[in-house]
A = this chain, B = another copy of it.
């Protein structure tokens, strides 16, 4: 069977390391595919098997993947003895990691060409049918609008003139599309959402999906909000506090980056209810939580004859462990969609995202039904 490449932007980060280590562990029979949606019996067996995934990527840090896996072992994200058992796979993936683009290093046109070549070389080196590029690097601040984002010709003219106009995530999406690869924006960053890049994806006939993996508090929100809606219980306020440790938490300590995330998180409630709902979602960096996160949500709602009631929940999860299997699911699904000739945004993958590109609804069960129908259709 054809092999599929998974090219990770942020390939040495926690999510990427967990995904790479996990695929190796499952392949070796050391762990069941817990958390992989596409491994359940509700999905066709025709997707590329997990053992058929080959890993590589870009990163600006140089800590070897094996060492990162050991750190995650100490933090309880992967079993402590796992890194030793899959050392060969980790080293093989590590050998496929190329330096990420450091802003200012060279101009973005040159950078894009180099990044694109890295991906294409990986594909031919391993004789891969397809490569899916997945961005699991740190969250960026929202990007300012620019006129050249509207049309591909204008964008390329600016790049050719030596201008650095693209946010980093969009530079990677550009490089991925130029290499003829599908792309998944797993962060809330801009990535492929510029009209000029949509034009490029159409031109290259490559699919993409995003944005911002739905792994914790927002996942629960998207399961609970439709419950209120279907029962005609009017939600009056929905407030939340997210306490994040780890790398992502540190990034989000920056208010600009945090605002990307908060905007993304607020989509679900706004998307499910007709009437406006009061309340904010706060994000705090709490270093002591390490790779873990805790979120508390408080919901007030109005029932029959105006009676007020409340629901609270606390979610305690390990972000990387929640995200990593979805990265594998998405790589498999986007690769298959690419193979079947789909291009442009894939709204059918909205189940995986806080802010589904290409539209579609936010209710989790409806998203799941759509995902299953899509997988069926592709097989």
Interface set of A (CB-CB < 8 Å, partner B): 18, 21-22, 25, 31, 33-37, 39-40, 42, 76-80, 82, 219-220, 223-224, 226-227, 230-234, 236-237, 239-241, 243, 278-280, 282, 284, 286-289, 294, 296, 298, 300, 302-318, 321-322, 324-325, 351, 363-366, 368
- Dominant SS among interface residues on chain A: mixed
Additional 20 contacts, C-beta under 8 A, given A223-B223, A303-B325: A21-B305, A22-B304, A31-B306, A35-B233, A35-B303, A37-B232, A42-B230, A76-B76, A76-B307, A82-B305, A219-B231, A220-B227, A237-B287, A278-B286, A279-B284, A279-B286, A286-B300, A303-B322, A309-B322, A312-B313
On whether the beta carbons of B219 and A365 are closer than 8 Å, the reply is no
User: Which residues of chain B have C-beta atoms less than 8 A from A309's C-beta?
Assistant: 315-318, 321-322
CB distance from A344 to the nearest CB of B (A): 26
With A239-B286, A317-B309, A321-B304 already in contact, the answer to whether A231 and B78 are too (CB < 8 A) is no
CB distance from A99 to the nearest CB of B (A): 28
Q: How far is the CA of A53 from the CA of B36 in the complex (A)?
A: 50
Counting every copy of the chain, the complex holds 4
Q: How far is the CA of A34 from the CA of B368 in the complex (A)?
A: 28
User: Which residues of chain B have C-beta atoms less than 8 A from A316's C-beta?
Assistant: 309-311
With A284-B279, A311-B314, A313-B312 already in contact, the answer to whether A239 and B243 are too (CB < 8 A) is yes
On whether the beta carbons of A313 and B313 are closer than 8 Å, the reply is yes
User: Which residues of chain B have C-beta atoms less than 8 A from A226's C-beta?
Assistant: 223, 365, 368
Residue on B nearest A274 in the bound complex, by CB:
B41
CB distance from A227 to the nearest CB of B (A): 4
CB distance from A120 to the nearest CB of B (A): 30
